[in-house]
Amino acid sequence: MKTTGRFIAFILLLSIAYSCTSTKNIQTNMNSKRNSLAYIMDSEIASTKSEVSVFTDTVIFDPALLNDLTLVTREKGWFIPLVFVYIWNSTNNCIQGRSIMEEDPAVFLKTSLNNEINRSGYFKTDSLKESEYSLELSIDEIKADGPYVSKGFFYFALYAYGFSYGDYAGPANASLKISYQLKKNGQLTHSNTFGSEKNTEQIRKRYNNLALLQQDYATSMVEATSYNFKKISELIVNDLNTYFKSQLSN
């Protein structure tokens, strides 16, 4: 009987601990490390290169588009402590911030686009600013957000008892929108806008340490944002390939 009582007390304390996953703790853990936006390049390598070169000039990025810190806000939550039952369910919204990224988004875009041009571009990059063509980029949207849910229950009635608990992260949705202007001798000659969205997988596996779950959730957001940078860099280079090929064929 003593053993049963101690076990029930332990389970009750465990359920209370999990039910008290605070927004402050989640936010602290998600901001505790930085993750790289770097990705593996796997686009088709250009078999030929024209003599056209492009200087990637500026990247316009309004800092207000991205919070300095990853933020966690309580969306809903309820607790039902009864004589023999303790139930909880809370949902938080997690919004990606610059704090969990190793690279500055504007710098990363410029670097990744130049790398993609060198790989799959029909044209070349100009690092000396001697080309008649210049490229101006603008990050119009960059965000990632998704739910973090903590729920469970514990019941005890006479000699019967049971419990279930779990914290679940995601899926988060990451979106990115980038526009560009291609100028020839300072005059606009071509422009376009591309967007990309990527959803993360929901993290449902049981963690003994919830801090690791929350850190992994932050990592998944950055990975999804990285995918969007990769996708749009490839789309921009493909679009410019088409443009320059049509110009050179005329």
What is the identity of the amino acid at 242?
T
The residue written with tokens 């039902």 in the block is 80
Q: How far apart are CA 189 and CA 225, in angstroms?
A: 29
Joined together, the tokens standing for residue 105 give 């988004």
pLDDT band at 19 (very low <50, low <70, confident <90, very high): very low
DSSP letters spanning the chain = -HHHHHHHHHHHHHHHHHHT--HHHHHHHHTSS-B-------SPPPS---S-EEEEEEEEE-GGGSBSS-EEEEEEEEEEE-SSEEEEEEEEEEE-BGGGBSS-HHHHHHHHHHHHHHHH-SSEE-SSS-SSEEEEEEEEEEEEEEEEEEEEEEEEETTEEEEEEEEEE---EEEEEEEEEEEETTEEEEEEEEEEEEEPPPB-S--SSHHHHHHHHHHHHHHHHHHHHHHHHHHHHHHHHHHHHHHHH-
pLDDT at 203: 94
Predicted pLDDT at 89: 80
Of 56 and 22, which is predicted with more confidence?
A: 56
Q: What is the pLDDT of residues 49-106, one digit of tens each?
A: 999 999 999 999 999 999 999 999 987 654 455 556 667 788 999 999 999 999 999 9
pLDDT in tens, 135-189: 999 999 999 999 999 887 766 665 666 666 778 999 999 999 999 999 999 999 9
